């Protein structure tokens, strides 16, 4: 097997059973260039229903963060403004994936990209709350689920729910959860959220803030 092919395929069995063939970076970039302005806008939402370990999502995050990093380095953003823009960028990226190891790898990869740029910009003055919020968002947005049956894999009796995060001013974040099957299947369609929450400050996004522990 060529090196390129090896990076795209983990095993023959996984290809046969799950169609797991990863897209290489050149193709990812060419496809994202077709929607370039959207990949550079912090609040444009992307949902990939078979995200693997995040080849597309990581490039989308890199592009969004490159824009806010540039603004921070040019002093157009304060640290707080950078943090808010970076959290907004991350909160707009979603994936659904069948295999647990890919889910874990995707979350870790996106967090690594987020933290690397954040720490490179702000070093010791980086805030733990910002990293906790990013970690929490990834735990919600990268979903261990089956995009064809609309069920979660980690809780098979539950439908997949997708959280919509919106900045509503003063750093407050509004969260509304929608049923994935209502979003994608015309026979189910509804634009009503299945859950709504009190706004939470963007540096305090965590399970406790949403009464989940
Ligand atoms: C062809 S790979 C593509 C991965 C990634 N999108 C990329 O381009 O590198 C397909 C991925 O979809 C996952 N998958 C297969 N069936 C799925 C399903 N019903 N729901 C969610 N993910 C699924 C596989 O585990 C695999 O990681």
Closest CA to 86 of 29, 126, 31: 126
Question: Could you tell me the distance, in angstroms and rounded to a whole number, from the CA of residue 101 to the centre of ligand 1?
Answer: 12
Element (H, E) at 54: none
In a domain, 127, yes or no: yes
Q: Which ligand 1 atom sits nearest the alpha carbon of residue 149? A: 19
Q: Is 98 left (phi over 0), alpha (psi -120 to 50) or beta?
A: alpha
Q: Which ligand 1 atom sits nearest the alpha carbon of residue 8? A: 9
CA distance 16 to 9: 11
Number of structural domains the chain divides into: 1
Asked whether residue 18 carries a pLDDT value surpassing 90, the answer given is no
Q: Which domain holds residue 162?
A: 24-210
Q: What does the pLDDT read at residue 67? A: 98
Identify the DSSP state of 208.
Answer: G
From 9, 29, 50, 56, the mutation candidate for ligand 1 (largest count of ligand atoms within 8 A of CB) is 50
pLDDT tens, position by position, 46-100: 999 999 999 999 999 999 999 999 999 999 999 999 999 999 999 999 999 999 9
Work out the average pLDDT over 114-143: 97
Phi/psi for 40 (5° steps) reads -110, 5
C-beta atoms surrounding 80 within 10 Å? 13
Sole residue written with tokens 């929490």: 136
In a domain, 88, yes or no: yes
In a domain, 86, yes or no: yes
Q: Which two tokens stand for residue 176?
A: 């509304």
Element (H, E) at 179: strand 172-179
Minimum CA distance residue for ligand 1 atom 17:
98
In a domain, 67, yes or no: yes
Phi/psi for 148 (5° steps) reads -90, -35
pLDDT tens, position by position, 153-183: 999 999 999 999 999 999 999 999 999 999 8
pLDDT tens, position by position, 116-125: 999 999 999 9
In a domain, 128, yes or no: yes
């Amino acid at each position: 097997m060529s090196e390129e092919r090896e990076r795209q395929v983990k095993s023959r069995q996984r290809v046969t059973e799950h169609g797991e063939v990863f897209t290489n970076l050149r193709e990812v970039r060419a496809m994202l260039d077709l929607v370039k302005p959207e990949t550079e806008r912090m609040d444009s939402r992307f949902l990939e229903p078979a995200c693997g370990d995040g080849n597309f999502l990581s490039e989308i995050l890199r592009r969004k963060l490159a824009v806010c990093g540039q603004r921070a380095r040019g002093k157009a953003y304060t640290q707080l403004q950078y943090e808010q823009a970076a959290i907004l960028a991350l909160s707009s990226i979603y994936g659904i994936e069948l295999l647990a190891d890919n889910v874990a790898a995707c979350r870790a990869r996106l967090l690594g990209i987020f933290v690397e740029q954040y720490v490179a910009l702000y070093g010791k003055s980086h805030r733990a709350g910002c990293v906790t919020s990013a970690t929490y968002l990834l735990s919600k947005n990268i979903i261990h689920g089956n995009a064809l049956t609309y069920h979660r894999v980690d809780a098979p009796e539950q439908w997949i729910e997708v959280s919509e995060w919106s900045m509503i001013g003063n750093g407050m974040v509004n969260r509304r959860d929608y049923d994935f099957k209502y979003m994608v299947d015309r026979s189910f369609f509804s634009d009503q959220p299945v859950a709504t929450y009190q706004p939470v400050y963007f540096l305090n996004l965590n399970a406790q803030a949403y009464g989940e522990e």
